[in-house]
């Protein structure tokens, strides 16, 4: 992938989550039902390439932000979508 593309990937996937959470925090603190949902990926659980590693970092950030922001009533969770088989013919 190369270093420039890897840096860009982490800038979007990891730093983007940090930037959005920090920006949303003051607007969400102490409000009923405040919730942040991060998008991880099944790739985070499989290890390997830079993409999976960046999504694993997002999973870690989710845990950290949940601990830090929970005291202010902000729930922070993540979903980890992967492939779905919706039709028996797709097997």
Task: Please list the active-site residues.
Answer: 51
Phi, psi (deg, nearest 5) at residue 35: -150, 135
DSSP per-residue codes, 20-88: HHHHHHHHHTT-TT-EEEEE--GGGGT--SHHHHHHHHHHHHHHHHHHHHHTTT-EEEEE-------SG
């Amino acid at each position: 992938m190369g270093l420039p593309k890897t840096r860009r990937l982490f800038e979007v996937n990891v730093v983007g989550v940090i930037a959005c959470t920090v920006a949303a925090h003051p607007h969400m603190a102490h409000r009923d039902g405040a919730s942040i949902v991060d998008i991880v990926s099944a790739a985070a659980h499989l290890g390997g390439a830079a993409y999976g590693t960046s999504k694993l970092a997002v999973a870690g950030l989710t845990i950290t932000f949940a601990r830090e922001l929970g005291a202010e009533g902000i729930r922070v969770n993540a979903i980890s979508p992967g492939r779905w088989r919706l039709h028996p013919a797709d097997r």
